[in-house]
Structure 1
């Protein structure tokens, strides 16, 4: 079981590979993993039933484009990269600090990386983050109230923005759906942007955590600029155009695997 999804490590690797390549045949997957085509068919059938992939002639491909990739899919895509990003961000947090967490899979994995810390105060509208944080008895966990989005297990709306506006935290930790070429931060829903902007306005330091696939990824709701955040944590150098926008600003870029 990976994340909250009951799949095998091989299935996670298949999903990641197909998402990046756009298509894979059953025969190629069988050869790549050194198993029979029957085994691969069982694997991909399970992934298709979860909505992570879909069958096509001779193989599998990502599901049809939608407003956003389902949370269960996002939990396993680029998982190794997200864990490296999370570990890097966690090293910038000290015991006893207060943290606001937004929605998304990478902030959730950052929370997992923080479980060895002590006496953190966690404020969040992300139930996955809250559930993870509750496993450390020294943490104080406060969650937003309101209507639950079932697939994403988060809470959005006016109650959420008012929730974050009630606190001033040491660090705000959030992700985005995408970053445009001009450095604009993008999401799929106005409520997602409102919650993120509320965290940004009420934290002393802001950590944007995102893997390299978010750079250049399109979404249609604008919500600030990369230069609005104090630190960016990612797994690869940012594209040249975005790096140019960051040049001369106070925004720091931390690249997992390149800590020096």
Structure 2
């Protein structure tokens, strides 16, 4: 399985740069990173083989997108920001807490940041989260049953909604595909929204974890508003209009900038 540990920092930064700019040439990347074009070509070969980038005339670009990005690609994009967000959330979690985790790469990285905690109770439909939590002997891990969704390694559907509705947890942790200009939370599938809403309804406080690339990112299934949560944890401030909405709603904004 492709993860966050089998690529270099430079390769991760290349992926972020191309995702942001839409295209980069081999020569431009070599100049930017101070390495030879041969080194850059090896980096690009590795990233292209994993579907993170694709070659085009004179350089590389993001793969054609239909729906959400592949999980392996999302695991490395904006990774520094996601790790910073995860550390900020970990500081909010007490030993012995009960937590519900939804799908997505940022919740997975939050779980990885909690390994120094003790006696956490984890409830999730995200097998990446469950695996990370299972490495901690003092954690109690409960997972939803049902059909596994390939690629994302998560479980969705009515049984998952009932699963989260069976528990009352201290903290719910979830991400979204995008946040519209009016604060509407967006995802790509109705079942993703249903699972997230079930966590929100059955936690004492909800943490929305997202890097700033999610603001304005389009997706077509609506589900709740950014002001519904207790805290938004992000690497950069939300757009001004959303910041005012959050302030009026009394929603905390926890900022933690990522560093490469």
TM-score (norm 1): 0.96
1:20 aligns with 2:20: yes
Equivalent in the alignment of 2:170: 170
State the distance in 1 between where 2:42 and 2:232 align: 39
The 1:48–1:133 alpha-carbon spacing in structure 2 relative to 1, beyond 3 Å, is same
Shift of 1:5: 6.2
State the distance in 1 between where 2:239 and 2:60 align: 30
Contact 1:99 1:122 in 2 (8 A): yes
Shift of 1:244: 2.4
1:159-238 matches, within 5 Å, as 159-238=159-238
Contact 1:5 1:72 in 2 (8 A): no
Shift of 1:43: 1.4
State the distance in 1 between where 2:81 and 2:8 align: 18
Secondary structure of the corresponding residue to residue 122 of structure 1? strand
Contact 1:2 1:9 in 2 (8 A): no
Runs of 4+ in 1 over 4 A off after TM superposition: none
1:149-164 matches, within 5 Å, as 149-164=149-164
State the distance in 1 between where 2:85 and 2:126 align: 19
Equivalent in the alignment of 2:95: 95
State the distance in 2 between where 1:63 and 1:168 align: 40
Equivalent in the alignment of 1:69: 69
Shift of 1:2: 7.9
Shift of 1:10: 1.9
* Cα RMSD for the two superposed structures: 1.5
Equivalent in the alignment of 2:140: 140
Secondary structure of the corresponding residue to residue 118 of structure 1? coil
Shift of 1:257: 4.5
Secondary structure of the corresponding residue to residue 74 of structure 2? helix
State the distance in 1 between where 2:36 and 2:83 align: 30
Alignment deviations for residues 195-244 of structure 1 (CA, whole Å, 9 cap, x no partner): 00000000001000000110111100000001111110001111011112
Equivalent in the alignment of 1:115: 115
Secondary structure of the corresponding residue to residue 81 of structure 1? helix
TM-score (norm 2): 0.96
Secondary structure of the corresponding residue to residue 96 of structure 1? coil
Shift of 1:48: 1.2
Shift of 1:22: 0.9
Which structure 2 residue ranges, 5 or more long, are not aligned?
none
Equivalent in the alignment of 1:35: 35
Shift of 1:171: 0.4
